[in-house]
Chain A
Amino acid sequence: MKPIDRPGRWLIILPPLLFLLIFFLIPFAFAFKISFADTAARVPPFTDVLTRTPDHHLQFSVSLANYQYLFTDDVYGVAYLYSLKTAFFSTLICLGLGYPMAYAIARASKSTQNVLLLIIILPFWTSFLLRVYALEGIIRDNGILNTVLLHLGLIHEPLRIMRTTLAVYLGIIYSYLPFMVLPLFATLEKLDRSLLEAASDLGSPPWRVFLDVTLPLSIPGVIAGSMLVFIPAVGEFVIPSLLGGPDSLMIGRVLWDEFFGNHDWPVASAVAIAFLFLLAGPIAIYQYYNVKQLEA
């Protein structure tokens, strides 16, 4: 067919391209620039990195102090490690829970499948903040869980879950489970059934069929789902802030406090940039598998 003539195409390409460039990509350049500035008591609260001297020369005043600060103050290292650890283990648990769920949905009949998918997708549409808040109603000291357990006589004093690391884990698993199930379902559903039948006709027991055929073929879904849970979980703010205790110092929370509590914008920028470098690997992996899946 005749392609739309070239100048006309740019009318469609340019608006989204420019918008995302200005409001998504360029902001990172500004954060990068400001991470080299110093705090200043003015509006906005940081010094200029790039200034023009009276004789019209550009002058850079770059300060590496913010990045040095990240290494000298323990809080940041501890928070990065804690965030990575928490996100990693919650991703594993989500995978352990989400894989059988996706597998069960993929094996259901078409009409059951639609209903089950709707059940999984519905929480995804429901307010994240409100769901985290709803979880508090279950796990707080006088919440449903403790009330039931006390009533049954299984425990004699309420379990302390709120404001602990366990609460952060529960929050992440509860909030991000649909993100794990949906990509897994997408790959498991596309699985070629004849391969499974061939393997079992050749005498493989079901568990070998699963390990040798199903699992390797579902790796793209495993990776997509894991990244969709892991990356946002590392940067999670709402969950550690509402459910976690004073020791659940995740990097998102540190960033928030640096910004709204200490009003130290340059250090907050440096934390964000360092954080971004940390996530560059996982994001690249996600993008790679995403592009590969779109092409398939």
Chain B
Amino acid sequence: MESRYSPTLLTVLCLGITILYLPIVVLIAYSFNASPLVNVWGGFSTAWYFQLLHNRQLLQAALLSLEVAVTASSAAVLLGTMAAIALVRFARFRGRLLLTGMVNAPLVMPEIITGITQLLLFVSMLQMLGWPHRGFTTIVLSHVAFCSAYVTITVQSRLQTADRSLEEAAMDLGSGPARAFLEITLPILAPAILSSWLLSFTLSLDDLVISSFVSGPGASTLPMVIYSKVKLGVSPDVNALASLIICAVGACVIAAGYFMRRADQRRALEMQMAER
């Protein structure tokens, strides 16, 4: 497209980006403030970062959150990819409309409703079946439910654009449909699967509302601990922790984006070479 910018467009774009980034920049700046008072600059200091290492409550919560996020996003990738394959490759089956609805609804459903309904399910299940007890298991189950929806959407759009002729060629050469899928289509889907795992991981790590409802006594995730600290007011060690999380996630996203683009470019190059 030609780039013909009106000054108004450019101003709004810059304004929007400033709104998105200014608070984060300010937060990171504050995390290096030696003074515990928020409105006084007491000089540069990394003391709050070192203090994090001695906060047992935060460390325990962080560990729980990481365990939940790894388990939930791995399960969500498996289920979400299966749902995407079903929706794209199987034109008609019983329950197709139901599945379409159930993978799209979690994206817009307010978390507070999902959280309360899932808690009521878990409580009723415990009453009837004696399983699951509220804690790690219930948090993972509820996270898998909303993460798998994001996975399906991501993988689905990739699968729709994937070239099917290669898979058909493999089958013409005698490989079964399952093997053709695993050897041809799965590598094409790999970047989408990887990025949806990362997305699930960050969504799970970030979730406050649903976790608060479905978790039990003693199982506090990192966002739950941060929320209760923040509710009491601004605290400098939360600034440090927040800066760490934001930078780590940002670096991961940029790296993942870079590797995915490189993989795509290499694939495109290979396709060009093969066509010659």
Contact = CB atoms under 8 A, between A and B. Distances in A.
B102 A129 contact: no
A238 B208 CA distance: 9
What are the 3 closest A-B residue pairs judged by CB atoms, nearest first? Answer: A235-B110, A27-B117, A142-B39
Interface residues of B, number: 97
Which of B9, B117, B118, B199 neighbours the largest number of chain A CB atoms within 10 Å of its CB? B117
Given A231-B110, A238-B227, A272-B116, 12 more contacts: A9-B86, A16-B80, A17-B98, A24-B114, A119-B17, A122-B254, A129-B230, A130-B27, A137-B23, A174-B19, A227-B108, A235-B111
Interface of B: 1-5, 8-10, 12-13, 15-17, 19-24, 26-27, 30, 38-39, 78-80, 82-83, 85-86, 89-90, 93, 95, 98-114, 116-118, 120-121, 123-124, 127, 141-142, 144-146, 148-149, 152, 164, 168, 171, 177-178, 199, 202, 205-206, 208-209, 212-213, 223, 226-227, 230-231, 234, 238-239, 242, 245-246, 249-250, 253-254, 257
A104 B89 CA distance: 36
B13 A101 contact: yes
Contact of B110 (A140, A173, A260, A279): A279
B101 A287 contact: yes
Nearest to B253: A125
A130 B12 contact: no
| Size band of the interface chain A makes with B | 35 or more
Contacts of A106: 1
Given A19-B145, A20-B99, A269-B116, A103 B9 contact: yes
Interface string A255-296: 110011000010011001001100100110011001100000
A167 to B, nearest CB: 12
A128 B206 contact: yes
Interface stretch (A28-36, A51-59, A61-69, A73-81): A28-36
Contact of A19 (B17, B79, B116): B79
A86 to B, nearest CB: 13
A246 interface: no
Contacts of A237: 111-112, 209
A144 B26 contact: yes
A178 interface: yes
Contact of A17 (B10, B22, B99): B99
Given A104-B13, A138-B26, A133 B93 contact: no
B82 to A, nearest CB: 5
Interface string A107-130: 111001000101111110111111
A227 B107 CA distance: 11
Q: DSSP class of A's interface residues: helix, strand, loop or mixed?
A: helix
A109 B102 contact: no
B250 to A, nearest CB: 6
27 contacts: A2-B171, A13-B90, A17-B83, A23-B118, A23-B145, A24-B114, A30-B121, A31-B117, A97-B12, A104-B9, A104-B13, A107-B1, A107-B3, A107-B4, A122-B253, A130-B226, A131-B23, A137-B30, A137-B234, A178-B20, A234-B110, A235-B113, A237-B112, A238-B227, A256-B112, A268-B116, A290-B104
A133 B23 CA distance: 9
Contacts of B202: 125, 127
Contacts of A140: 38, 234
A4 interface: yes
Contacts of A133: 27, 226, 230, 234, 238, 242
Interface in A30-56: 30-31, 34, 44
A127 B246 contact: yes
A242 B230 contact: yes
Given A178-B20, A252-B112, A4 B177 contact: yes
A126 B250 contact: yes
Contacts of A28: 117
